[in-house]
A and B are shown apart, each in its own frame.
Chain A
Amino acid sequence: MIIRGDEPEQVRLLRKLYKPGNYFMQGNEAVAYGALFAGCRFYAGYPITPSSEIAETMARELPKLHGYYLQMEDEIASIAAMIGASWTGFKVMTATAGPGFSLMQENLGYAVMTETPLVLVDVQRSGPSTGQATKGAQGDFFQARWGTHGDHPIVALSPTSGQDAFWETIRAFNIAERLRTPVVVLFDGILAHTRELVKIPDVDDVEITYRKLPANEEEARLPFGDPHGDGVPPMPLFGHGYFTHVTGSTHKENGLRDVYTPEVHDRLVRRIHRKIEKNREVYERYEEHFTDDAEILVVSWGVTARPALGAVLRAREEGIKAGLFVPKTVHPFPGERMRELGKRARAILVPEMNLGQMILEVERYVNDDVLLKGINKIGGVPLTVEEILREIRGVA
């Protein structure tokens, strides 16, 4: 077996170590357990609040599963080591927060360009800069999308609870493997440190995906080709005698650098975009509550989706036709569904713990005659049900 993590031995270990059932745990721990169930056996990271418990859990648990925990000298080294390990066949993850995420950006772009599967968890905290280091926020929406340079697609997910974090982390690995791409999980400091009930399933109830490996020598010789027409090349892993060349510079299908021919760059970068665009069903996911007849639509993500749901439920009790749309995959934004919902709504409210980021995505898909309003709070304290409800009442 080349991709490590799915051998019968691993299944036996998972079953022995983590009995199915309800556990009381932190969001950060839920992320770590999700990674372990997804087959992650390599973690390289650098401590930063509020993400550190992910590293600590991985450091404790990975050796039990024959996995590797590395504490690197910084975040740049962490993502670099992950990429190296991914090319040897590991499913890999790191976790960080704002400043560390910034340091990882150059190599995140490298992973996009070299089509290296990896999972990067950004436990968002208040910024800019060191800001309020211990407080949660939702300010990295666009850092995930545009933090690295050049034209590139990115897939980013955003869980709304500890339980959700467990499953969304697994989903992040499955998308990364299926599409041979880095996947960002935009978590946040509040959910990261909230302890709540998380149900650990039986190993058999977890569906996991593995990256496509070359079927023959010919496929192995084209590590950046598209033999199956889905835009996703099979990945010839290091150590198997394929003599694979991997570079972040513009490369031909065989991996060799060609930075002079415009068509080579165009073909490569457009295919990398196409594989994300064309495989929407692999990653697109959103949640809806009362959207069927909603006149007032609340669109929210991550930690804020919870008070948003509370506010919508209360509004319904008051007879206000409010609904909630929660993109779980925030990049690429579920624009089609947003457009449909936007047509029916009279007003759209976008609560988030920043000064207005996801609202800009929402705006792209709604008409001018809809009242669009952000509900924004910064300072490290989450939005409350009351605060969101007040705004719903205001436009009702």
Chain B
Amino acid sequence: MPEIYSRYPMVKYLRKEALPTALCPGCGGGTVLNAFANAIDQLKLDPRDLVVVSGIGCSAWIASPYFLADTLHTTHGRAIAFATGVKVGLPDKKVVVISGDGDLASIGGNHLLHAARRNIDITVILVNNFIYGMTGGQVAPTTPFGAKTTTTPYRNIEHPLKISETIAAAGASYVARWTTAHVYQLIESIKKALTVKGFSLVEVISQCPVQFGRRNKMKEPAEMLRWFLKNSVPVSKARNMSEEELEGKFIIGELVNRKRPEFTEELNKLIDEVQEHFGLKEV
């Protein structure tokens, strides 16, 4: 094994035969993987108690195949629906979805919304890089207004989706947003998301220097990180800001943290009641 792997303390959580990762140098995906591994480590979670599900895209590869757990790499956009079946089958395991913004919020937007509404105990780490990285940099539902992509060569005339706000409104138990420039906060949020009972979403604003940065005057990963830092506004501060002031800003922090009945618990409770009602319990 090359020395770099043996020196990286989180390597024990990775599928070594799948390394090195296919991510471009400087991709924010590496930071997300690192943050996720650290969260698992700090929580002392046994990866045997983890199932990680992802869709299709660069971000979908972050944990599947690289994270050493049961991993399910599904069809484009459908990760949350697959994960729903996994969670019902294994209610005592932590079921985590890690995928991109195109995957989870565009083609898979409906599943994201409904999983939040159901409040099923799944943790979703949504990697928002404002672009379709894997397919070559096309416009995404998160691409900023006015930005250039391969399919908006003149400028993007659509408005980006506020994913975290939408999912908070849909009924999730926990929603937080950070950028890859806020690694420690990100780790803390992933830890909370994993511990909260109910649907949790951690949106990570992440750099894709290759497909997004290059076309938007930020070729270097560091330039993108500086952009994130310069434009991040904590939720508490954002509350007192006008819509105009918030234009182009990244609201970071915890948007929601609340208790609501959780789907798999309710499902099992219902089954119990039905069994009781029909006198089916073993006496």
B81 and A72 within 8 A (CB): yes
* A positions within 8 Å CB-CB of B: 9, 12-13, 16-17, 42, 44, 63-64, 66-68, 70, 72-74, 76-78, 80-90, 92, 106-107, 110, 238-239, 241-249, 254, 256-257
Chain B residue numbers with a CB within 8 Å of A110 are 74-75
B70, B73, B274, most chain A CB atoms within 10 A:
B70
Any A CB within 8 A of the CB of B68? yes
B84 touches which of A70, A74, A256 (Cβ 8 Å) = A70
Q: With A80-B75, A84-B86, A88-B85 as given contacts, are A66 and B282 in contact (CB-CB < 8 Å)?
A: no
7 contacts between A and B (CB under 8 A): A68-B267, A72-B114, A81-B84, A85-B89, A87-B70, A87-B86, A246-B73
A42 and B88 within 8 A (CB): yes
Q: Whole-angstrom distance between the alpha carbons of A244 and B68 in the complex?
A: 9
Which DSSP category, helix, strand, loop or mixed, fits chain A's interface? mixed
A107 touches which of B75, B111, B270 (Cβ 8 Å) = B75
A81 and B64 within 8 A (CB): no
A81 and B68 within 8 A (CB): no
Chain A residue numbers with a CB within 8 Å of B82 are 80-81, 83-84
In the complex, how many residue pairs between chain A and chain B have their CB atoms under 8 Å apart? Answer: 143
B73 touches which of A81, A82, A247 (Cβ 8 Å) = A247
Q: Supply 18 further A-B pairs (C-beta < 8 A) apart from A81-B88, A84-B86, A110-B74.
A: A9-B282, A42-B89, A44-B84, A68-B267, A76-B81, A77-B110, A80-B75, A81-B85, A83-B82, A84-B84, A85-B85, A88-B90, A238-B72, A239-B51, A243-B70, A245-B65, A246-B72, A248-B74
B85 and A243 within 8 A (CB): no
Chain A, residue nearest B93 (CB): A239
B15 and A245 within 8 A (CB): yes
A243 and B68 within 8 A (CB): yes
B75 and A106 within 8 A (CB): yes
Q: How many residues of B contact A (CB 8 A)?
A: 41
B274 and A63 within 8 A (CB): yes
Q: Whole-angstrom distance between the alpha carbons of A9 and B111 in the complex?
A: 34
Q: Whole-angstrom distance between the alpha carbons of A78 and B111 in the complex?
A: 11
A9, A13, A89, most chain B CB atoms within 10 A:
A13
Chain B residue numbers with a CB within 8 Å of A83 are 74, 82, 85
Q: Whole-angstrom distance between the alpha carbons of A179 and B183 in the complex?
A: 46
Q: With A9-B282, A77-B84 as given contacts, are A84 and B274 in contact (CB-CB < 8 Å)?
A: no
Residues 94 to 134 of chain B near chain A (Cβ within 8 Å): 110-111, 113-114
Any A CB within 8 A of the CB of B17? yes
Chain A residue numbers with a CB within 8 Å of B280 are 13, 16-17, 64
A245 touches which of B64, B87, B275 (Cβ 8 Å) = B64
Q: Whole-angstrom distance between the alpha carbons of A270 and B83 in the complex?
A: 29
Chain B residue numbers with a CB within 8 Å of A239 are 51, 70, 89-90, 93
A85 and B274 within 8 A (CB): no
B73 and A249 within 8 A (CB): yes
Any A CB within 8 A of the CB of B24? no
A73 and B274 within 8 A (CB): no
